[in-house]
Chain A
Amino acid sequence: MTKPKEVTDAQFEGEVLKSDTPVLVDFWAPWCGPCRMVAPLVEELADEYGPKVKFVKVNTDESFNTAANYGIRSIPTLIVFKGGKPVGQLIGFRPKNDLKRVIDQALAS
């Protein structure tokens, strides 16, 4: 299974905002239980979407600037970026079908 790349504050612009393909960002932290339940779903989706969508993770403990920039107040939060802008968002643990729906809607937008 593909392990999404961990992206830091310094790398966020290059890896996410300037990406040619849409990017799903998984905001998480090690102490967050529901984040650990979302992680395998994100890995499965990374495999399923292949090169169409890039999947990355941002640890909010370490990359707190990025977390603050996007108003993260609760984790897990998943944000889909397209052309450098957030186009879809999910807050809290959600089943895989909900994640797919948000990604598909964001891709179509």
Chain B
Amino acid sequence: MDEDYDIVIVGGGPAGLAAGLYAARARRRTVLLEKGVIGGQISLTERVENYPGVEAIGGFDLAQTMLRQAESSGLETHYKAVLGLERLNSLWRVTTDDGDYRAKAVIITSGADYNRLDVPGEERLIGRGVSYCATCDAPFFAGQEVAVVGGGDSALDEGMFAARHVAKVYLIHRRQELRASRILQERALADPKFEFIWNTVITEVLGEEQVNGVRLLDLPTSEERVLPVAGVFVFIGHHPNTTYLRSLVSMDEGGHIVVNEWMETDAPGLFAAGDARQNSARQLVTATGDGATAAIAAERYISDRFPVE
């Protein structure tokens, strides 16, 4: 039996939570579907300092506040994974791993996930030395040496966080220069615990029960060597979680959903907000802004398309 709602929100990060708050306050019967941790990427952020109006707060705590606020306005939250969507006459049918839903409008806020290296050993050793979150896992490598992969803000920021706990950080980057903001570059280059390995990629993560090293490939010389490390932290970008929507909406090559200023996709009644959509600035504040916009647009769509009986 399908459950009927005005609005289904797919993904419980900040974009989804803001959309849920606005939809609930507009008195639309709304359910938010989340398969993992409420807050999405910010649930792992140790400290949020750039959300206007909030001087400093833990990411998890901020997400919990957003959830409480939305739920006290009437948002329902169900914990399950969305597998797909399909059009059902004038409605959308949302299939999950635990029951299906029918909605007048759907807001996609399924966000983005970390890019992986896609090398042998990586998948097997996730949680056993391979990590995508230094603020989460660096404390477990106290006094040891770790590799950090990437050249952007995350790699340096999280790398420097790791440096406070570990004995040494090998910053491995495939190019000769970093693309992180200047201020972070300055700090990292001056950090005594950092050793930079340029023009190099990891071709394999080594270890049986735990990571004990990585195989490195020097790109200009094609030389390989093994670097003994206890952990590998990967910060090489994100990809949007939108594969389940393929062929339903227009997306760019990277899988980001094409939307207009009102977060409308090219499918009627389908909206996208936050990191899943094209041209997102990928900040907490832009995600919540997108989410609210999408909810307002969805509300208008429902009023127009389904006039009150």
Contact = CB atoms under 8 A, between A and B. Distances in A.
B127 interface: yes
Contact of B140 (A31, A33, A37, A72): A72
Interface residues of A, number: 20
Nearest to B133: A74
Contacts of A33: 37, 39, 43-44, 58-60, 63
B37 A91 contact: no
B99 to A, nearest CB: 13
Interface in B38-96: 38-39, 43-44, 46, 58-60, 63, 79-80
Given A34-B44, A74-B127, A67 B35 contact: no
Nearest to B129: A73
B60 A36 contact: yes
B67 to A, nearest CB: 11
B222 to A, nearest CB: 32
A74 B43 contact: no
Interface residues of B, number: 27
B210 interface: yes
Interface string B126-155: 111101000011011100000000000000
A93 interface: yes
A92 B131 CA distance: 11
A32 B79 CA distance: 20
A90 B80 CA distance: 18
A17 interface: no
A99 interface: no
A74 B210 CA distance: 11
B231 interface: yes
A49 B77 CA distance: 26
A77 B36 contact: no
Nearest to B63: A33
Nearest to A29: B139
Contacts of B126: 74, 91
A29 B46 CA distance: 13
A73 B127 CA distance: 6
A93 B79 contact: no
Nearest to A41: B79
Given A37-B37, A37-B38, A93-B37, A73 B128 contact: yes
B118 interface: no
A72 B129 CA distance: 9
Interface in A69-93: 71-75, 77, 91-93
B253 interface: no
Q: Which 8 residue pairs across A and B have the least CB separation, nearest first?
A: A33-B60, A91-B127, A74-B127, A33-B43, A74-B137, A73-B140, A34-B37, A37-B37
